[in-house]
Structures are given as structure tokens and as C-alpha cells.
Chain A
């Protein structure tokens, strides 16, 4: 994938992510139900592994880390990515460097290693099980 395409994609994701979090923040503030457009949940009625991540990110922004942990632990990596990746990409664009691009492919190759992949899958399945139990 070319550098510019990857940077544009991630900046687009970050922009959508921030808009989504802000929208849900205002919905919560006005006591309206937050948006649930998870296809898997709509079809099966069972939450997917990343359901409640938005709530967890919102709790992190308020400093309620324990509540975020209870809502969905995946909120932590998502919040970190939302915070770091756009800033990193913008810094790369200003300094005309490709450090994030190299990091992205390093992270991809790390995730392709068997022990990392199996550990990640086991963790995700365990977290998904917990997510299902919490919502019943």
C-alpha cells in the first residue's frame, strides 16, 4: 500500500472515530440513547467483540478507567490509537518522513507471528465471552 493512501485512510478513520465519539458524547449528555449500528448485534442479538468500545472510550475521556475496563477493555487500545496515530501521521507529513509507515508494516509482521496471533485470538475470544456475559 502506498504511503499517501495509508496515511489518508488512517486520517479518515481517525476523523470518523472522533466524530463518532463526539456524537455519542452529546447523545449521552442529552440523555438520548447512543447509536447502535453494530450489524452483528442487530442480526444475532449477541454483542460483537468490540461492542461497547465507544462507551469505554467516552469513560476514558472522563477519567473513569475502571468503568472503561468493565465496559470493554478494547477501548484502551482504540483510545490510544485515536490519540497517537493522527498526531504521528501529521508529524510525519510535516517532517516529510515515513516513520509511521514503517511502524505500520512492522506491527503487521509482528501480528503475523504465530505466538502473537494465537495470543491475540485467545484474548479476543475471552474478551468476547465476557462481553456477551455482561450484556445478558
Chain B
């Protein structure tokens, strides 16, 4: 894949990933076939800021976990009053990192 295209992608999407993951993503994307670019562009990564807002508003019901695709954890959070209220508060601090982690896992599946 062209370096210009990869850099443009990273410029536009760096907020979806942890900063330490960027060099790895760049390296993997440079070694990819051009045809994969469209798949990566349209992957639909989750915005960590949106996750945080959802977590602040509906985190008690596990909606933040459902949003990022952690359905099992969402159900656990929903059935336990937001993990007795403690998990809700912990997730306000963790959800952005978990969203980036999920985005990275999704990207890894695409580039493998």
C-alpha cells in the first residue's frame, strides 16, 4: 500500500487507536495489498469520545459495553445494577481505552 495513503488514513483515524499502536499499524498497512484499503476505510471504528459520553449517560445499563461490541460484559453490567455501581464508575475511566483496544482488534482481523 502507498505510504501517502497509509499516512492519510492514520492522520484521519489516529484517535481510534492508542498512540503506541500507530507505528505497528503503519508497518502492517504498508505491507498490505491495495485492495484491502477500501475494507479498512469502511471498517466503522468506534469513537472513544462517543463511548465515554454513552458510558456517562447509560453506563449503568451496560449500553457503553454493548456499543463497542462487548455484549457479554454489557449483559453482566445490566444484570448487576452496573456491577453494584462500582463497575459503572470504573468504566468511565476505562471505556475509552477499551474502545481503542476493540478498534485495534478489528483492524488486526482486517490486516491479517
Contacts and interface: CB of A to CB of B under 8 A. Distances in A.
B78 A50 contact: yes
Interface size bracket, A side = 20 to 34
Given A48-B61, A49-B61, A108-B71, A77 B85 contact: no
B85 A37 contact: yes
B80 A39 contact: no
Greatest chain B CB density within 10 A among A16, A49, A50 is at A50
Interface string B19-38: 00000000000000000000
A104 B72 CA distance: 7
B75 A39 contact: no
A39 B72 contact: no
B6 interface: no
Contacts of A77: 79
A48 B81 contact: yes
Contacts of B84: 16, 20, 37-38
A40 B81 contact: yes
Interface in A21-79: 37-40, 42, 48-51, 53, 74, 77-78
Nearest to B75: A111
A112 interface: yes
Given A20-B84, A107-B72, A108-B71, A39 B60 contact: yes
Greatest chain A CB density within 10 A among B78, B79, B85 is at B79
A51 B85 CA distance: 12
A38 B81 contact: yes
Nearest to A72: B79
Interface of B: 60-61, 69, 71-72, 75-76, 78-82, 84-85, 88-89
25 contacts: A13-B80, A37-B85, A38-B81, A38-B82, A39-B82, A39-B85, A39-B88, A40-B60, A40-B81, A40-B82, A48-B60, A48-B81, A49-B78, A50-B79, A50-B81, A53-B79, A74-B79, A78-B79, A78-B80, A104-B72, A107-B71, A107-B72, A111-B75, A112-B69, A124-B78
